[in-house]
């Protein structure tokens, strides 16, 4: 290969490298801009979703955040319902199929579950995602203590084909009940 051909190939490679870097910089700039624009609306939607879930699992006129200093890292937040009717606990139980599951658990003043709502789920559509359905969630109302699926000696009927998700929700409910018990 002649010296002129080698120089031509080197300059072509430099142009290609510069072009690819410019494309990457533009893409990064666009992605950063889109993130900046959508960050607050996404956060607001999640807050509204959480507020709706709290009202669903333990209806009250308002909720006040409670400082949780317990050792359970799956507890994300605890809110006390006005009128001393109970607490609403946000839990991200470990052991879900997707690893992305967040639930709200209402706990009555007497230490029983008033309701459960799924606020975030990455579970398989048509299987674990059925944890959002009332037929599954309604089983938890009135339960206390350690909550387990029937396969593990409990009373909660697991979702067909989604025992892992069912166990994770049950573990989350158990964690919520224990956290409220720690509060006294």
Number of domains into which the chain is organized:
1
Residue 91 within a domain: yes
pLDDT 10s digits, 67-94: 988 888 999 999 999 988 999 999 998 8
Q: Determine the pLDDT at residue 9.
A: 62
- Asked whether the CA dihedral 146, 111, 104, 53 is positive or negative, the reply is positive
Residue 143 within a domain: yes
Q: Determine the pLDDT at residue 123.
A: 74
Residue 24 within a domain: no
Confidence class of residue 18 from pLDDT cuts 50, 70 and 90? very high
Decide if 58 contacts 106 (C-beta within 8 A): yes
Domain that holds residue 69: 55-183
Residues 113 and 110: their CA atoms lie apart, in Å, by 9
Least trusted range by pLDDT, from 83-87, 101-105, 154-158, 161-165: 161-165
16-30 mean pLDDT = 96
**List of E strands, 43-169:** 63-66, 75-81, 86-91, 101-108, 113-121
pLDDT 10s digits, 119-142: 988 777 777 778 888 999 999 999
Residue 11 within a domain: no
Residue 18 within a domain: no
Residue 16 within a domain: no
30-50 mean pLDDT = 93
Residues 92 and 38: their CA atoms lie apart, in Å, by 24
162-182 mean pLDDT = 91
Helices (H) and strands (E) in the chain, counts: 3, 5
Q: Determine the pLDDT at residue 136.
A: 92
Residue 34 within a domain: no
Q: Determine the pLDDT at residue 28.
A: 97
């Amino acid at each position: 290969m002649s010296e002129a051909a080698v120089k031509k190939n080197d300059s072509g490679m430099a142009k290609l490298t510069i072009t690819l870097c410019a494309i990457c910089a533009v893409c990064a700039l666009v992605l950063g801009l889109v993130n900046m624009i959508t960050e607050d609306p996404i956060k607001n939607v999640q807050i509204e979703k959480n507020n709706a879930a709290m009202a669903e699992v333990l209806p009250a006129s308002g909720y006040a955040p409670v400082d949780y200093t317990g050792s359970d890292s799956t507890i994300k937040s605890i809110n006390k319902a006005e009128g001393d009717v109970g607490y609403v606990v946000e839990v991200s139980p470990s052991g879900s199929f997707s690893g992305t599951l967040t639930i709200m658990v209402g706990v009555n003043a007497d230490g029983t579950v008033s309701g459960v709502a799924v606020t975030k789920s990455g579970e398989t559509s048509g299987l674990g995602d059925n944890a959002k359905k009332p037929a599954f969630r309604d089983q938890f109302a009135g339960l206390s203590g350690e909550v387990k699926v029937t396969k593990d000696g409990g009373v909660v009927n697991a979702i067909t084909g989604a025992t892992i998700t069912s166990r994770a929700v049950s573990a989350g409910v158990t964690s919520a009940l224990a956290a409220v018990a720690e509060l006294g």
